[in-house]
Amino acid sequence: MSLSSSLKPGLTRWFTRKLSGHPGVQVLLLCGLTALGGFFLAQFIPAPMAWAAGLTLFCLVCWGTGLVPEYWPVLVFFLIAIVFHVATPAVVLSGFTSSVFWLFFGGMILGASIRYTGLDKRAAALISRVIGRSYAGMIAMTVVCGFLLAFIIPSAMGRVVLLLPIVTGLAEHLGYSRGRNGWLGFLLAAFFGTILPGFTILPANAPNMVLAGTTETLYHYHLSYWDYLRINLPVLGILKSAVLIALILWMFPDKAPVFSSLKQTPQQPLSSPEKKLIVIISLCLLGWLSDSLHHVSPGWIALAAAVICLMPGTALTSPRCLSEEVNYGSLFFIAGVLGLGAVISASGLGHALVEKLSDLIGFSPDHDLYNLGALTGVSTLIAFVASPPGVPIVMTPVAEGFSGMTGLSLTAVLMTQVMAFSNIFLPYQSPPMLSAVQMAKIPLGAASKLCFTLFAVTLFILIPLNLVWWHVSGVIH
């Protein structure tokens, strides 16, 4: 699973094409340009801030271009930040102590367990039985199933990998040949429906976890699973899913499916490992939803589930699960992102960014809607350049400064990031979405058209409605 691969647009695509046969030259040139940029900045700002800015630029460019594996710039960041005393080792490596790191790890183990026990195949069979008997019902139930999976499988890429083979086979069985509107609508409903609403469920997508982890590391402020859900789910999750269904039906209309060609196979009874895993997942969800009552972080609940799944004799994971099925590159990516946010804050770079943006935008404590809109706009621009995970890397370290400057609560300032990184302009911004397009061989134009239309509807209709919901629910004080 790659969290940081993305389509290389504009100058990046030209640069990569020119040097496509020389990856080492690309990386050396990137390192040289970053070092020059840091040296130039050091003439105007203190050295720690210049180092932090240079390392941030280096990591964002590496992750945005996909020139190297996602873990490599993280290791470079750890090395340079510690050796050159950009920050203390405790700050640089703080991502490993964050509960969000362990939430991500626990999610990986649960995903491996779901595959090992065969629960993924049972979920596929269940989806095939509840998709509806009309084209509209099929699209709606596909989005709903993808949405519900986001509560169970805390990895957008994992859900995409699970759903795509299911919906591709079902589309053909239901009479929707490749390239037809029904085929496009079915597949787009599957991966749009599981990726986009997942931004409103704390462990479901990478940017959510980066936001929660960076917030915990910097401010010792725990984003509750329930509060995050309550603030974001009604509009950006449920209402946005309804808009997605309507847009697919409007943009990709087709006839009802042909059910006579769909073979029904009898289901075997649940095995003992499957029953155990269902209980563990149910307890996990219950613990996550009630974390505002017991105050145990979702990360430690996920770690407890992972410990049980890995316990010898439970038959819930392979004996080689940790050595073969855990993507340690992605774990290092998460830890590096969290550590980078901590270094930005500790170096003073975050405070300098707050002052500069305040001068440019003109925040005022008396204009809440303007302040919220401006913060969302800044985060949206960052998402264009640095991809959704880049938004909390840049914006979370400056959130407390913006809170004091605008008079908004820290929670409100942080949640403006969710409105930004959940609103995908084009598929290249979201690695799971782009991977789904490539794996299913969906025309990029069709996916981009739906993506852009939903982006516009979200920007001009759903975000204002979300701000109304925030006012009603007390998020905006």
pLDDT at 5: 42
Selected residue with higher pLDDT from 264 and 352: 352
Contact between residue 436 and residue 1 where contact means Cβ atoms under 8 Å apart: no
Whether the Cβ atoms of residue 82 and residue 322 lie closer than 8 Å to each other: no
CA–CA separation, 309 and 1 (whole Å): 21
Instruction: Find out whether 188 and 252 touch, Cβ atoms under 8 Å.
Output: yes
Pairwise CA distance, residues 301 & 173, whole Å: 40
Instruction: Kindly report, residue by residue over 177-187, the tens digit of the pLDDT.
Output: 787 888 899 89
Residue 459: pLDDT band by 50, 70, 90 thresholds?
Answer: very high
Q: What is the pTM of this model?
A: 0.68
Which of 319, 305, 318 has the alpha carbon at shortest distance from 276?
Answer: 305
CA 352 to chain centre: 27
Widest CA span of the chain, in angstroms? Answer: 72
Q: How many Å is the Cα radius of gyration of the chain?
A: 22
Helix (H), strand (E) at residue 380:
helix 368-386
Who wins on pLDDT, 381 or 247? 247
What's the confidence (pLDDT) of residue 466? 94
DSSP sequence for 251-308: HS--PPP-GGGPPP-PPPPPPHHHHHHHHHHHHHHHHHHTHHHH---HHHHHHHHHHH
Whole-angstrom Cα distance, residue 472 to residue 216?
A: 26
Cα–Cα distance measured from residue 81 to residue 76, given in angstroms and rounded to the nearest whole number: 8
Quote the tokens at residue 187: 């597949």
Say what the pLDDT of residue 248 is. 95
pLDDT at 9: 44
- Is 150 in contact with 159 (CB distance < 8 Å)? yes
Q: Where are the domains positioned within the chain? A: 99-324
**Higher per-residue pLDDT: 135 or 439:** 135
Residues 408-422 pLDDT 10s: 888 999 999 999 999
Say yes or no to pLDDT of 263 above 60: no
Count how many Cα atoms sit within 13 Å of the Cα of residue 279 in the half-sphere of its side chain.
11
Closest by CA to 390, choosing from 348, 340, 345, is 340
Rounded CA separation 174/289 (Å): 37
What pLDDT, on the 0 to 100 scale, is given for residue 228? 92
Least Cα distance to 391 among 360, 419, 432 occurs for: 419
Contact status, residue 450 vs residue 440, Cβ threshold 8 Å: no
CA dist 26 and 7 (Å) reads 17
Tell me what pLDDT residue 291 has. 67
Query: Which three-class secondary structure state does DSSP give residue 154?
Result: coil
The dihedral sign for the CA sequence 132, 191, 464, 457:
negative
Average pLDDT along the chain: 79
Distance between CA atoms of residues 182 and 167, nearest Å: 11
For residue range 12-67, list pLDDT tens digits in order.
Answer: 454 445 544 555 666 676 666 666 766 666 666 777 778 888 888 787 777 766 67
Q: Give the mean pLDDT of 244-272.
A: 76
Say if residues 395 and 438 touch (Cβ distance below 8 Å): no
Tokens standing for 340? 């980078």
User: In the structure encoding, which two tokens stand for residue 451, read together?
Assistant: 């993506």
Residues 6+ apart with CB under 8 A from 370: 364
Per residue in 358-409, pLDDT tens? 677 777 777 888 889 888 988 887 777 656 777 887 788 888 888 888 888 8
Distance CA 389, CA 432 (A): 12
Beta-carbon-side half-sphere exposure of residue 58 (alpha carbons within 13 Å)? 30
Transcribe 296-359 into DSSP letters.
--HHHHHHHHHHHHHSTTS-SS-TTHHHHT--HHHHHHHHHHHHHHHHHHHHTHHHHHHHHHHH
Report pLDDT for 464. Answer: 93
Question: pLDDT, tens digit, for every residue of 212-232?
Answer: 888 888 888 888 888 899 999
Q: In the chain, what percentage of residues exceed pLDDT 90?
A: 15
What's the pLDDT at 1? Answer: 42
- Which range of 92-101, 148-157, 244-253, 400-409 scores highest in mean pLDDT? It is 244-253
For 354, what's the count of Cα atoms within 13 Å in the CB-facing half-sphere?
A: 19
What letter represents residue 397's amino acid? P
pLDDT at 241: 95
Distance of CA 182 to the CA centre of its chain: 27
Binning pLDDT at 50, 70 and 90, where does residue 262 land? very low
The arithmetic mean of pLDDT across residues 438-460, rounded, is 86
